[in-house]
Amino acid sequence: MGRYTSGHNYKLEGIRKMLVIGFYTPEYESISKRLEDSCLDKDIQLELRAYDDRGSWEENCGIKPEFILSMMEEFEQDLFYVDVDAEFARDPDWSQFEHEARIGVCCEKINPPKWEVLSGSIFIPYNDMTIAIIKGWLRHCQNNPTEWDQVMFAEILNKLSDEQWFRMNIEWCAIESFNIESPIIRQLESSRETK
């Protein structure tokens, strides 16, 4: 099942707009409305998909690479993944991704000195390299169904070079405790409360 937040075609004035994607399981359907409303307010193209509950929080989180891969195959364009318990706090400037071929992820020292990959916002360029990365992440999640997708993604990224992925500014994945002055995307972390 898909829901669009805009009646626009994905191509406007000859320029393809960024497509934001997200998925939810039944317990997050009402929470997804906040993301949907923020995208409508800022004329951001959004594609949401519903998935059945897979039995645990970790297994539901493990849907992420499967969902991303299916959206890459369906739309064949650059995508921007956002967790459904997030919202766009201000208009994004997508131009910084126009000529970027590497996957983009936010990282932060949540429990210093250790850096953590934050998989709540991901820039996904449509190319063979990114498809291979997402497939590797998917396999890793399938082989470790009780592990958190974010940890599985970090293990994949740790094996890659700077030519394959880059660290996005934390304003793309701001968590309240980070005290980011002007976030683009505010992660509300509702899923951690219902975990």
- pLDDT of 191 reads 55
Q: Which residues contact residue 90 at a Cβ distance below 8 angstroms, ignoring those fewer than 6 apart?
A: 42, 182, 183, 184
pLDDT at 16: 53
Task: Determine contact, residues 71/21, Cβ cutoff 8 Å.
Answer: yes
| Assigned CATH topology for domain 2-194 | Spore Coat Polysaccharide Biosynthesis Protein SpsA; Chain A (3.90.550)
Cβ-contact 126, 78 below 8 angstroms = yes
Burial class of residue 101 (count of CB atoms within 10 Å of its CB; 0-12, 13-18, 19+): middle
Q: What is the pLDDT of residue 195?
A: 52
**Look-up: residue for tokens 């991901």?**
122
- The domain locations on the chain are 2-194
**In this predicted structure, what is the pLDDT of residue 4?**
38
Please report the pLDDT score of residue 12 as a whole number: 37
**Per-residue confidence in pLDDT tens, the chain, 195 aa:** 344 333 333 333 444 579 999 999 999 999 999 999 999 999 999 999 999 999 999 999 999 999 999 999 999 999 999 999 999 999 999 999 999 999 999 998 777 677 889 999 999 999 999 999 999 999 999 999 999 999 999 999 999 999 999 999 999 999 877 788 899 999 986 655 555
Give the pTM.
0.89
